[in-house]
Amino acid sequence: MIICGYEFERTDPRNPCYSLAEVDIYGWIPEEFWSEIRDHRLSLRKNLKTGGFELYRYYYTDGSGEVIFTGSLEECLRRAEGEWKRFHFGWAGG
């Protein structure tokens, strides 16, 4: 996957504090983890107010979300890789 920081400069017209572009790192987690954490999607977006990037989880059960990490694009991508490996590495045959 190639992710370019310039793609995140365009404002979301429905939420001007954030970029229109966002990247889904993964769309769900395997059911074996649901007792530890609810099923969720992990996404990367840019907070245009602060200029930082955010990793956030969107929870399917109630439609809520939470920012789990804030930092530079590189820092967020390193953290996102760790989250993907945590939930999908063995499952995906990696």
DSSP 8-state secondary structure symbol assigned to residue 36: T
Residue 32 resides in a domain: yes
Residue 9 resides in a domain: no
pLDDT for position 89: 80
Residue 64 resides in a domain: yes
Query: Could you report the average pLDDT of every consecutive run of 10 residues in the chain (94 residues)?
Result: 90 96 96 94 98 97 96 97 90 54
38 is in which domain, residue-wise? 24-88
Site of tokens 């990247």: 23
User: What would the pLDDT profile of 9-31 be if each residue is shown by its tens digit?
Assistant: 999 999 999 999 999 999 999 99
Token pair of 87 as six digits: 């939930």
Q: How many domains does the chain have?
A: 1
Residue 4 resides in a domain: no
The 3-state DSSP class for residue 5 equals helix
pLDDT for position 91: 60
